[in-house]
Each structure stands twice: as structure tokens, then as C-alpha cells.
Structure 1
Amino acid sequence: MMGDESLECEMAEFCDVEGNRFVYCNARSGGGCRVEGVSEDDGKSFIVLNSALVETGYGCQGS
């Protein structure tokens, strides 16, 4: 995701109160952390929000 190799990911589209649409992505990176990003252009490009979210090691980790 966003230039880095990622494994499984979850994506969601949402709108703010003004009707602006965003795509949110949360993915497992190959480096042992999760990464998250947001797109304001229908998924054409992403802004990295966090590239080192800690994996919990058990349970649901990003869905």
C-alpha cells in the first residue's frame, strides 16, 4: 500500500458531513506492523496516516 508491499487489507469509503468522500485503508505490512492511509481522490493516491501500528498478536487486528 502506498508504495510499500502489504499483505491483507481492509478498505472503507466514508463521507463527512459536507459530503466529501474518502477511502480509508488499513493493511498488514511485511515489517510486522500495520499501516493505514486515506485517499481523497477515490483511491488513486493515499496519504500515510501511520506506518507503524502495533500488531496485537491475537484476535481481530484491523477489520
Structure 2
Amino acid sequence: HCVRTREKPFRNIEVAHRAATVAHLGNIAYWLGRPLEWDPAKEEIIGDHEANRWLDRTRREPWSIG
């Protein structure tokens, strides 16, 4: 609806993003079998390269983000 009308969403997208992040981090911790330490400012898992690889994936050309 918001894309078509350009109206502001009635829900806060930042709150939704943070809630989804918590769910994703829980899954990553479960899959790896260890606790994680999250840096919300950088949006990365602190000191855990293997866990950080689960946060994103390589995109096929010509697709990209940002």
C-alpha cells in the first residue's frame, strides 16, 4: 500500500527490523551452537567471522544492495 500511495507506513520499520534481527541472531546462535555478541551500531557479530557470514550472502549480477 505505501509503495503505491507514498503514505508513511502505520508501523515503525526500524522496530520491525530490530525484531527480525533478534530472530535471525537466535537462529545463527542455534545453528553454530554458541552464544553471540551483537554490535547494534555496526550491525555485526563481534569477533566471530564465521557467524557474520550468516548475516549476508553474495548476490548474482546485476543485483546489489546499496
Question: What is the TM-score with the length of structure 2 in the denominator?
Answer: 0.24
Higher relative contact order, structure no. (Cα contacts within 8 Å, ≥ 6 residues apart): 1
TM-score by length of 1: 0.25
- More strand as a share of residues: 1
Q: Look at both structures and tell me which one has the larger radius of gyration over its CA atoms.
A: 2
